Structure 1
Amino acid sequence: MHPGLEPPQLLKQNLFYAGRKFNFEVNRLRLPNQVEGQWECIRHPGGAMAVPITPEGKLVLVRQYRFAVQGRLLEFPAGTIEAGEDAFTTIQREIEEETGYSATEWKNLGKFPLAPGYSDEYIFAFLASGLEKLEVVPEKDDDEDIEVILLTPEEFEKSVIDGVGVDAKSIAGYFLAKPFLNNRK
């Protein structure tokens, strides 16, 4: 067993919704401390994100409309891992579709749980550098309303501190990448 993992005992499983991006379950469980109860969980295949940085030291982000928060958030490019893909393949595709850039240098920054209180989704983070603007940008998904934004690391940090709508995965990914951004001089 993986260190730190203590799976609960599944007493009853109920799939309430099977969607194109995730499933929603309500399960009766017995936790490792022997407490029994009902817990809701979003089952998600995982996602991949990149912190792209241009040769000039600018971060490449997208301002994307998110219906759940009824507004636009500043985010690093990311996407859901599709069936048959690994996280690296996903982010290579997503960075091109969302930003119009491709990267020649990649660094794996690790993975982290996105919202473990209600979802099993993990985000796989990468630093993307050696960026080149694509001559032909792949078509975006129909539901994507995206604007590409270039910021310095200092401008990004100011956006976070000032409470500009920046999503949590982008904040986490940035701070995983930050030690490598400082060493790029």
Structure 2
Amino acid sequence: MRRDGRRPGRAGGARPARTGAARLPGARPGAREAEPCRGGSDAGVRRLGRAVRSRARRATGRDGAGAAIVSDGAAGLTLVSGDGIRLVGRLPEPLQGNATGAGDALTAALAAGLAEGVPTGRDAWAETLRTGVAWSAAAVLQPVAGAVDPADVARLLPRVEIEEIA
């Protein structure tokens, strides 16, 4: 709080803009919830799915199709949605470079996608995951943290492999 009682970053006390990300009944898994999910462990993925559904219910007061995405570095991203979709997205081979900023690029990709609406169905979640992998991988290729070259994203998108977890 500032001395005048207003929160920082809000000009004249204006309300913050609401985006798709702000309306998403999702979950940011804690380390304990996410750890068993790494590597696609079936029991861990089921446990994470229960946590997503529980947090979506608490956030909205109803069952929601929230989702959690867990990054496992070069091993890729695991997505578990509250409606039972379980996917892993990765490149066929790890990239060499600077991983600083890859998580920020992933977050930016997800926020940009959610601004267009919350994905529904397997294909929409797969595309969200594919975009997240491509953006974060493109950040690894940059010598400066936080930069993403759109040409790298375009080149990487078709290389992202999406696999369903049973």
TM bucket (normalised to shorter chain) is under 0.3
**TM-score w.r.t. length of structure 2:** 0.26
- Bigger Rg, which one: 1
Which structure shows the bigger proportion of residues in strand conformation?
1
**TM-score w.r.t. length of structure 1:** 0.24
